Structure 1
Amino acid sequence: MTNRNVVLLATCAAIVAIASGYLKADDWIMWGGDGDRNMVNTVEKGIPTSWDIETGRNVKWQAQLGSQSYGNPVIAHGKVLIGTNNQAERQPKSTGDKGVIMCFREKDGKFLWQVTHDKLPAGRVNDWPRQGICSSPAVDGDRFYYVSNRCELVCADLEGFLDGENDGPFTDEKLTDEIDGDIVWKLDMMDELGVFPHNLATSSATFDEQLVYLCTGNGVDEGHIVLPDPFAPSFIAVDKQTGEVVWENADPGEDVLHGQWSSPALGTIGGVRQAVFPGGDGRLYAFAPSDGELLWSFQCNPEESVWKLGGHGTRNNIIATPVIHEDRIYISVGQDPEHGEGPGHLYAVDATKRGDITKTGAIWHNDEVQRSLSTAAVHDGVFYFCDLTGIFRAMDAATGKTLWTHDMLAAVWSSPYVVDGKVFMGDEDGHVVVFRAGREEKVLFEADMGNSVYTTPVAANGVLYISSRTRLYAIQEDATSDPDEVN
């Protein structure tokens, strides 16, 4: 590991202030709501159990996205941000395949502006066509952070150019109309750190009072054998104000199996702040957030597992985001969904331990699941999880015992979301199933969203947001809208 300009947190008071985490109230400001990444909202009430996009019942508004949308919506300060591609071509000066963050007005879905990024010249090996921006923004006051399709960590202004100001130090935007986004600074991880993203950089950042944390996406080349730069960092912490790298870590180095498409978690475990990063070798790494000191690591693959190209082996990397809950880390393993189904593993890990805790850290382990992309949700002693094959599970969070299962009858990339006594789960066939949260299965409703749901439903300010591949829906109790009216 190398360190760059290592800084200490300013005061003990600051440490105490951030130790409590972010209150999951009102706005939903990042992937997972806050740094613990637990897909649970304990604040919102009155979230609809049912809706109908064909009639507009309980649909407040809908907005057109690109042709592929994998970024999750976040809601903050009266705005909704989401990553997609440029197929909607809302900026006439910028047409063709691009990566885009769109911004809509929360109250009525009016399109406000978009940040637009050109594709990388190398093509699919670094920036897969038409995938857009898959990173979910993290909003911090009047700034937000995301990873572009060009493998850049970007800090942007929440007002875009609507305020008539070009915030810097970065002031070289090609597009500066009112409908364009305003970049404050950006860190090009390919040029400045030597990172080689395989297919796409997708990490969703988290932050504390001083630093932004993310996975860089360093991976193998197009031949799927050689890692162009095994010494390029996989995990970094960056100064929020300047974009300067404060610390970096190059693990797993040459042990990266394929790509690295996951995101870190940040929280207090056993009274100690930890930044938990999922590695492309199937290992979890936990660091001291302030200086990058390695606290512990845990290999999620059995020792006898074997990596084979194309998903034919039994060894996996990690696509899901680790979840921090009550001194435990919940994590599953998976692969590029193009590799298809295969054996998976699901763990609850004791994150209070130190060192290599592979042999001592597992509180429970489930090896009956298949590979998964889904991030988990833990609430009221129940652990909710879905694997790629669409088998949704409710499990006892303490023991890992399966309480009930439900077959979604479709592949699942989405994650379960718990809010208002319900669990929402989307699938590739475009259905969202609503379960009653609890230790017994009860299906309350199933909606057809008209297109694949690869993202996760989220709620903020009394409204449920669901994005299909091409549309963003705001769903609210007693709302009505014209189903033909699309923002």
Structure 2
Amino acid sequence: MTARFTIWLAAVAGLAFGGPAAPAADWPQWGGQPGKNMVSAEKGLPDSFVPGEKDPQGAGILMETTRNVRWAVRTGGMTCSTPAVAGGRVFIGTLRDGHGALLCLDERTGKPLWEWTAPTRDVPTTIDGRRFEFSRFPRQLGVCSSPAVDGDRVYFVTHRLEVLCLSTRGRPKTSPAAAAGAGAMLSRRCESVDVARPACPAPPAGGQVVGNIGDALPRPDKPAVPHFLVSFAPPGETYAGPAATAPPAQAPPAPATEGKPASAPPAKVRWPQGPGEAEVIWTFDIWDMGVRPSDACDCSPVFDERFLYVCTANGVDRQAESKVHDEFRAVPAPDAPNVIVLDKKTGRLVAMDGVRFPERMFHGQWSSLALGKVGGRTLIFFGGGDGRCYAFEAPAAEAPASPGRSPPDDKPATLKLAWSVDCNPKEYQVFGDMPMITHYCLGDRRRSDGINKKGDGSFVGMSEIIATPVFHNGRVYVAIGRDPEHGRGRGALWCIDAAKTGDITETGRVWCYQGLDRTLSTVSIAGGLLYVADVGGRLHCLDADTGQCHWVHETGAKAWGSTLAADGKVYMPTDKGLWVLAAGKEQKVIGKIILGAPAWASPVAADGVLYVASTNYLWAVAAKP
């Protein structure tokens, strides 16, 4: 397992902003609601379950060997995505045969309803003469983003660095011959607009209407200019001419290692197939904005009444042995945005942030966004790749939609920065005579010249933010962390007064807890108590108001997912199983469930059911009547 591969196995944990969940409620997005507090009000969730034995023929789980399991589904070869549950359906991202996939399952039975799948993007291996290593990671990870469901639409970020809006209903599968005569949604281009809505005439001669995967649209008059799809016409606006259908892509061969040829594709696995396929409503291509990600595209979108908010995953591309920002450790897109805002109906780019920090970029930007109402305004909370937590003012809901205009014609607004906090304590920023980035790089335990050799969590250094900020009762809770392959090290969990403005590192600090390791986990706050896991496998219970630690539970495992507080219990996923502890000021272990594979995704609860995902399976856990 490669270093930069492992980071993405982790990043991927009333609906009033920051409010509690309602009983028997859906879990429609990462964190359940826009404030991202990992808490559910569901009752009657089992204390334990038996995952069951795997079918030796590869068909899934033998249900007669399970206990307290409503259904179980084999999801894919690597599942990092946390499921979303809404409208009687379960949505989860995964990897299948080297392709990214989003599955839609029946909530009651687990039956596959439809799936979206696409090959990885063909990206350059060098940029400005420097090696660009991103291409290999999507083939190992697939879709890491947790979907966000709003009514009859589901949004997610693909492994191709696209934001997709799909119909939750899907559509029946059609043969290529039938699809050619049935008509297809007509797309608009990012570089120029060749067709106008609502008439939707045929594209220029030689052009094509492209289906599900958001590839470039051919232009005979400008063959050298990429024209990536931005959005599909709204439902009801169709092009009746022939539609191009992409041939099924084959799984790529495993990458070659030095001195060895590339291996053949692995044998086919019997994935459960749904009767339907995805129906794409619109696509927005983040890559086409100039963004160049590090490792993976994992942001989980968040939405409000009108807009969709997404972290772009712009980051550093570097060789692991590098320790300075030079030709071997560069930020390929220093001027690219970190946060974008889209019109959730059309995919139009509405706004982006104006903050840039390439000289302070440690590795990548994988923290999903949260929203919160503060003083009559909506704030967007973003954990940056420089270790700072940012709050931006969201666009006004009454902003004009400019229908029919593409992003180049309709200049996006710049988000107003409300405040920021440096979440690396001052005592973590002592580097001696070496540059900050060098100290950060030498904190990687794998380096022969590294300075983080003990592996006991005592190393002191800077980190980025990977966890999602949580907005709760007017405060923001967020912790710093790194790629777990860097080893253990001192972490810091902050409680921030969200009503302040400016650089509020000092003035906005309510408390800062430094008794934990680096962490990738988003916190759970329930009953005045905060629960958070760290990469060292410890679960911390704190007073949410004061930061006082009540207890710490040692699991002896790796914890890269997030906790879920529900039904008087705290569920904690690890690479060795799912721990269940009693919620409260007294430490009490209820049990541990061995899943047979690591759990990198976070557990969620909806409609009286607990959903638990390992790297290959998804279980719907509920006491049987």
- Check the 8 A contact 2:18/2:33 in 1, yes or no: no
Which residue number in structure 2 is paired with residue 189 of structure 1? 286
Alpha-carbon distance in structure 1 between the residues aligned to 2:49 and 2:346: 44
Which residue number in structure 2 is paired with residue 97 of structure 1? 98
What SS does the aligned partner of 1:334 have? Answer: coil
- Check the 8 A contact 2:164/2:282 in 1, yes or no: yes
Matched, 1:368 2:515: yes
Note the alpha carbon deviations across 1:71-103, whole angstroms, 9 max, x for none: 0011111111101101xxxxxxxxx31111111
Query: 1:216 is matched with which residue: 312, 321, 324?
Result: 312
Note the alpha carbon deviations across 1:253-276, whole angstroms, 9 max, x for none: 312221111100011134432111
- Check the 8 A contact 2:18/2:37 in 1, yes or no: no
- Check the 8 A contact 2:156/2:164 in 1, yes or no: yes
Letter in 2 for 1:309: C
Note the alpha carbon deviations across 1:152-172, whole angstroms, 9 max, x for none: 111111111239898845462
For 1:188-337, list aligned pairs within 5 A.
188-191=285-288, 193-223=289-319, 225-254=329-358, 255-290=360-395, 292-303=415-426, 304-305=429-430, 306-307=436-437, 308-309=440-441, 311-312=443-444, 314-337=461-484
Alpha-carbon distance in structure 2 between the residues aligned to 1:99 and 1:311: 32
Alpha-carbon distance in structure 2 between the residues aligned to 1:338 and 1:104: 33
Q: CA deviation at 1:250?
A: 4.2
Q: CA deviation at 1:49?
A: 1.0
Describe the shift of the 1:168–1:342 C-alpha distance in structure 2 as closer, same or farther (beyond 3 A): farther
Query: 2:211 is matched with which residue: 166, 172, 190?
Result: 172
Letter in 2 for 1:207: F
Q: Which stretch shifts more, 24-33 or 222-231?
A: 222-231
What SS does the aligned partner of 2:579 have? Answer: strand
Matched, 1:461 2:470: no
Which residue number in structure 2 is paired with residue 145 of structure 1? 155
Q: CA deviation at 1:323?
A: 0.4
Q: CA deviation at 1:335?
A: 1.0
Note the alpha carbon deviations across 1:13-57, whole angstroms, 9 max, x for none: xxxx97686954521000000100000012x11111111123311
Note the alpha carbon deviations across 1:148-189, whole angstroms, 9 max, x for none: 001111111111123989884546234799532121111111
Alpha-carbon distance in structure 2 between the residues aligned to 1:80 and 1:49: 22
What SS does the aligned partner of 1:102 have? Answer: strand
Q: CA deviation at 1:105?
A: 0.8
Instruction: State TM-score, norm by structure 2.
Output: 0.69
Letter in 2 for 1:231: D
Which residue number in structure 2 is paired with residue 28 of structure 1? 27
What SS does the aligned partner of 1:281 have? Answer: coil
Alpha-carbon distance in structure 2 between the residues aligned to 1:376 and 1:258: 22
- Check the 8 A contact 1:167/1:183 in 2, yes or no: no
- Check the 8 A contact 1:126/1:196 in 2, yes or no: no
Alpha-carbon distance in structure 2 between the residues aligned to 1:384 and 1:181: 37
Describe the shift of the 1:167–1:135 C-alpha distance in structure 2 as closer, same or farther (beyond 3 A): farther
Q: CA deviation at 1:229?
A: 1.5
Alpha-carbon distance in structure 1 between the residues aligned to 2:88 and 2:38: 21
Note the alpha carbon deviations across 1:292-331, whole angstroms, 9 max, x for none: 2111111111342544226437111111000001111100
- Check the 8 A contact 2:574/2:599 in 1, yes or no: yes
Letter in 2 for 1:277: F
Same amino acid, percent of matched pairs? 39
What SS does the aligned partner of 1:130 have? Answer: helix
Alpha-carbon distance in structure 1 between the residues aligned to 2:533 and 2:559: 7
- Check the 8 A contact 2:17/2:33 in 1, yes or no: no
Q: CA deviation at 1:478?
A: 2.1
Q: CA deviation at 1:117?
A: 2.0
- Check the 8 A contact 2:581/2:591 in 1, yes or no: yes
What SS does the aligned partner of 1:338 have? Answer: helix
Alpha-carbon distance in structure 1 between the residues aligned to 2:339 and 2:443: 25
- Check the 8 A contact 1:207/1:213 in 2, yes or no: yes
Over aligned residues, Cα RMSD in angstroms?
Answer: 2.2
Q: How many residues align?
A: 451
Alpha-carbon distance in structure 1 between the residues aligned to 2:468 and 2:567: 23
Q: Which stretch shifts more, 47-56 or 232-241?
A: 47-56
Which residue number in structure 2 is paired with residue 157 of structure 1? 167
Alpha-carbon distance in structure 1 between the residues aligned to 2:330 and 2:20: 40
What SS does the aligned partner of 2:172 have? Answer: helix
Alpha-carbon distance in structure 2 between the residues aligned to 1:20 and 1:341: 31
Alpha-carbon distance in structure 2 between the residues aligned to 1:231 and 1:48: 49
Query: 2:134 is matched with which residue: 125, 132, 153?
Result: 125
- Check the 8 A contact 2:47/2:580 in 1, yes or no: yes
Alpha-carbon distance in structure 2 between the residues aligned to 1:218 and 1:194: 9
Alpha-carbon distance in structure 2 between the residues aligned to 1:190 and 1:459: 34
Which residue number in structure 2 is paired with residue 46 of structure 1? 44
- Check the 8 A contact 1:126/1:198 in 2, yes or no: no
- Check the 8 A contact 1:372/1:387 in 2, yes or no: yes
For 1:337-348, list aligned pairs within 5 A.
337-348=484-495
User: Which structure has the bigger radius of gyration?
Assistant: 2
Alpha-carbon distance in structure 2 between the residues aligned to 1:448 and 1:380: 28
Q: CA deviation at 1:368?
A: 2.3
Alpha-carbon distance in structure 2 between the residues aligned to 1:60 and 1:238: 37
Alpha-carbon distance in structure 2 between the residues aligned to 1:355 and 1:477: 50
Describe the shift of the 1:392–1:339 C-alpha distance in structure 2 as closer, same or farther (beyond 3 A): same
Describe the shift of the 1:258–1:19 C-alpha distance in structure 2 as closer, same or farther (beyond 3 A): closer
Which one has the bigger strand percentage? 1
Alpha-carbon distance in structure 2 between the residues aligned to 1:212 and 1:203: 12
Alpha-carbon distance in structure 1 between the residues aligned to 2:355 and 2:416: 12
- Check the 8 A contact 1:330/1:349 in 2, yes or no: yes
Describe the shift of the 1:182–1:409 C-alpha distance in structure 2 as closer, same or farther (beyond 3 A): same
Note the alpha carbon deviations across 1:364-400, whole angstroms, 9 max, x for none: 1112211101000011110101110011110111111
Alpha-carbon distance in structure 2 between the residues aligned to 1:178 and 1:437: 42
